[in-house]
Structure 1
Amino acid sequence: MLGLPFWAWALLGVAAVAVGLAKTAIPGGGILPVALFATALPARTSTAALLLLLIVGDAFALIAYRRHANWPTLLRLAPAVVIGLLAGFAFLAIGNDDIVRRAIGVILLAMIAVTLWRRSRQGRADAAPPARGVVAASSYGALAGFTTMVANAAGPVMSMYFLAMRTPVQVFLGTSAWFFAIVNLFKLPFLARIGLFDTQVLLTDAALVPLVILGAFVGLWLARRMKQQVFDRIVIGLTVIGAVYLLF
């Protein structure tokens, strides 16, 4: 992997910066790194390589927002998330790169559709009752567990759930930070068990970690300055292109 062509390294570099940005400033922006990693690397390898960088980003998110988590919400989601994680692990264990690559493409397009649908409902959020039931937590939790294990792409699912819960902004960011930090650490031994963390993955990630850190600091700086709508449009557009590429 260290012998990747320049274009692949360029995609991975942009993705690493985007990981830092997504963790500290742009909730839901983590779809872009998924698409870029799966384009530059074999599908299963991309899931493992990206996971390690996401954990680095999680550390910065916790530093910034760790005090704002809603722990009852996290505990309510936990059982369904575990079921989804196990289902995703089984899929990764039996699927080859071609199947996983197309699955990631489908998941990305589905997550984009979910994100757009969620935003279309924002204007009607005050009229909609908060989704606090067991069914809602189970549905969102299972889907988040599966998508995060297979493609590290649970961000839009959880964003939609927190929106349906009418979660305040700071609580949204803090709860998301703890959710993904815990889930990503939980995923480590599963991916290691099927041999996805080889020396090349570790060396490649070591080269990209400084860019994640850079993106995290830039994200903290941008958090109060940048119009999120502009960035989100860029993320969605590039992700659609990446998802279609993975499919075809």
Structure 2
Amino acid sequence: MDTMTLWHLTGWEFAALAFAAFLVGFSKTAVSGANTVSLAIFAAVLPARASTGILLPVLIAGDLLAVLTYRRHAHWPTLWRLFPAVGVGVVAGTVFLVWANDAVVRTSIGVILLVMAGVTVWRRRQADAAGQPDEITSRSGRVKARSYGVLGGFTTMVANAGGPVMSMYLLSAGFRKLGFLGTSAFFFLIVNVSKLPFSAGLGLIDGRSLLLDAALVVFVVPGAFLGKWAVRRINQRLFERLVIAATVVGGLQLLLR
């Protein structure tokens, strides 16, 4: 990664990254999956391949704050069921990043964003049409967990975009708000930390990128506090519509860039 380009950010570009970091904090404590907007901003401002490594420590900072907030509400049997499949997906994503150049990664992120926006719309329509079934202990639930785990691991390694995949799985499994937030907080903390050696080995994280991360993490904290305050007050449906719209715009921007 040519990290020298990180020192040539304009004021507006840094402001965009700071806003994206703020959204990471907010999404981790309020609306999981909203950080798809953040990854679109990072990939638009920075080289797409490098943006995945620079965003990762920012996400981990948000995960830590989410764990501190919702640690008592995690459902560990669900987490243990997901992790083996996620590991397969992370390895597949790492192999993909070995040969993929910046243009391929940028296009892949754009496609992933658009697919995840479509998945989110489908999820909401399914939820409106019927109640959420509890599939945590069923055979079909185990198959579903493996499928979502592999897809989530791949998308989170390639584009840090596993949030919508896991959100769909947790909601379909019948999780209520606090259980959803607590389980996803531990899930992404563990998965994102496990990605660090892979990203470093690919050259996506180094000393210069970590200095930029140190400046951006400051903006994660107020976002997390706002999310904690808003989680019981926010109009979830309206916010999800805004996130979907922003995700679609971000995905199209990357594809047309």
Q: Per the shorter chain, which TM-score range?
A: over 0.9
Q: How many residues get paired?
A: 248
**Identity score, percent:** 53
Q: CA deviation at 1:8?
A: 1.8
Which of these residues, 92, 97, 100, is aligned with residue 87 of structure 1?
A: 92
The CA distance in 2 between the partners of 1:44 and 1:144, in whole Å, is: 18
| Residue 37 (structure 2) pairs with residue 24 (structure 1) | no
> For residue 7 of structure 1, what is the aligned residue in structure 2?
12
| Residue 168 (structure 2) pairs with residue 163 (structure 1) | no
Contact 1:2 1:203 in 2 (8 A): no
The CA distance in 1 between the partners of 2:86 and 2:44, in whole Å, is: 27
> For residue 201 of structure 1, what is the aligned residue in structure 2?
209
Q: Give the AA of the match of 1:216.
A: A
Which aligned pairs between 1:103-118 and structure 2 lie closer than 5 A? 103-118=108-123
> For residue 147 of structure 1, what is the aligned residue in structure 2?
155
Q: CA RMSD in A?
A: 1.4
TM-score, normalised via structure 1 length: 0.96
> For residue 191 of structure 2, what is the aligned residue in structure 1?
183
Q: Give the AA of the match of 1:198.
A: D
Distance 1:140 1:42, change over 3 A: same
> For residue 60 of structure 1, what is the aligned residue in structure 2?
65
> For residue 3 of structure 2, what is the aligned residue in structure 1?
none
Distance 1:176 1:125, change over 3 A: farther
Contact 1:11 1:36 in 2 (8 A): yes
The CA distance in 1 between the partners of 2:134 and 2:233, in whole Å, is: 32
Q: CA deviation at 1:124?
A: 2.8
Contact 2:133 2:174 in 1 (8 A): no
| Residue 78 (structure 2) pairs with residue 73 (structure 1) | yes
The CA distance in 2 between the partners of 1:111 and 1:46, in whole Å, is: 19
Contact 2:116 2:164 in 1 (8 A): yes
Q: CA deviation at 1:129?
A: 6.3
